[in-house]
Amino acid sequence: MKNDPSIKLSRRTFVGGVIASAATATAMQTCGASPAEATSPKSSPGWIDAHVHVWTPDTDKYPISPDFSKSDMLPKSFTDEQLFSHCRPAGVERVVLIQMSFYQYDHSYMLDVMKANPGVFSGVALIDHHRPDLVQQMKSLAQKGMRGFRLHSRGDAKDWVDDPGMQKLWRTAADEGLAVCPLINPDDIQYVDALCKRFPKTTVVVDHFARIGVSGKIEQDSLDQLCRLARFPNTHVKTSAFYALGKKQPPYVDLIPMIKQVTEHFGPERLMWASDCPFQVEDGHTYEASIALIRDRIDFLSASDKQWLLKGTAEKVFFA
């Protein structure tokens, strides 16, 4: 969940305060889905993880931003190969990469990972919405495989609604078929709501339930406010970062009522599961525990619903 283009925000701050046919077949069986069900929504088989960060300890080839130091890189390394060791056994074949804040606006490492694994990755970029060549930069990054742009609230989300650069970003995203991906706190939902109202054609993907539950408690008023975003048909929510929400303990069943409420409002077609690796695989948390919550532990989700959460929605937004 850590990813801020301009300031340091440690993972501790957030937590504390705040792909293989056999594997795919196994995952389908676990879901109780027939082969026909498991390939609908239609496309290549295999789940999609909609939110992962990658980085390399090779800071000579891939320098990090001067706003960060090597000591901020925790864990010290999370490369594509390290990711595959977690996601492939779970039947995850494709992944949406989110630019890591260590690199700020230099997407070289993520783009190289994408080029080295054709068809496996899509990307969400960081961008300075104040730059004068914003539209050209957005189009350039889209040509390189970026399908969305991340916004990170640092207590300034209230300024987004009337910011000319932010309005240009949302308008261009709609025109170019790109997503806006806000990482926000519960108090910021109102500002995303205002932007959705002003730019209803823009595809929006709210990260990590808008961090509802990071306090250790699922705040019902904030959850209701998040669910009101469902009236905008192009707005989506990532059911993700389970390690950081609610009780913050696997198997994360305390999050099921929140997942049920967002499913009732948005429908499975506008929800997407994501791990938020590497942070999901630290401190006693595992990749399997994250995907298993959606795949195995929620009775109210049908096999078709699980297809949408574990593949179809992310495929529609980030791989179409």
List the chain pLDDT tens, one digit each, 320 residues: 644 433 343 343 444 333 333 333 333 333 333 333 333 444 445 999 999 999 999 999 999 999 999 999 999 999 999 999 999 999 999 999 999 999 999 999 999 999 999 999 999 999 999 999 999 999 999 999 999 999 999 889 999 999 999 999 999 999 999 999 999 999 999 999 999 999 999 999 999 999 999 999 999 999 999 999 999 999 999 999 999 999 999 999 999 999 999 999 999 999 999 999 999 999 999 999 999 999 999 999 999 999 999 999 999 999 99
Q: What is the pLDDT of residue 52?
A: 98
CB 160, CB 204: distance < 8 Å: no
Strand partners, 52: 97, 277
Strand partners, 123: 97, 146
Q: What is the pLDDT of residue 109?
A: 98
Instruction: Return the H-helix or E-strand segment holding 136.
Output: helix 134-143
In whole angstroms, what is the distance from residue 96 CA to residue 83 CA? Answer: 12
pTM of the model: 0.87
Q: What is the pLDDT of residue 1?
A: 63
In whole angstroms, what is the distance from residue 187 CA to residue 189 CA? Answer: 6
Residue 42 has which token pair? 């239609």
Both ends of the chain: CA-CA distance in Å? 24
Bond from prior residue into 257 cis (ω within 30 degrees of 0): no
Which phi and psi (to 5°) does residue 210 adopt? 55, 30
Q: What is the pLDDT of residue 10?
A: 39
Q: What is the pLDDT of residue 45?
A: 54
Q: What is the pLDDT of residue 23?
A: 37
In whole angstroms, what is the distance from residue 238 CA to residue 181 CA? Answer: 10
Q: Between helices 256-266 and 220-228, what is the axis angle to 10°? A: 20
Strand partners, 148: 124, 179
Q: What is the pLDDT of residue 12?
A: 38
Q: What is the pLDDT of residue 31?
A: 36
DSSP string covering 226-262: HHHGGGSTTEEEEEE-GGGSTT--TT-GGGHHHHHHH
Residue with tokens 């500002």: 191
Q: What is the pLDDT of residue 131?
A: 96
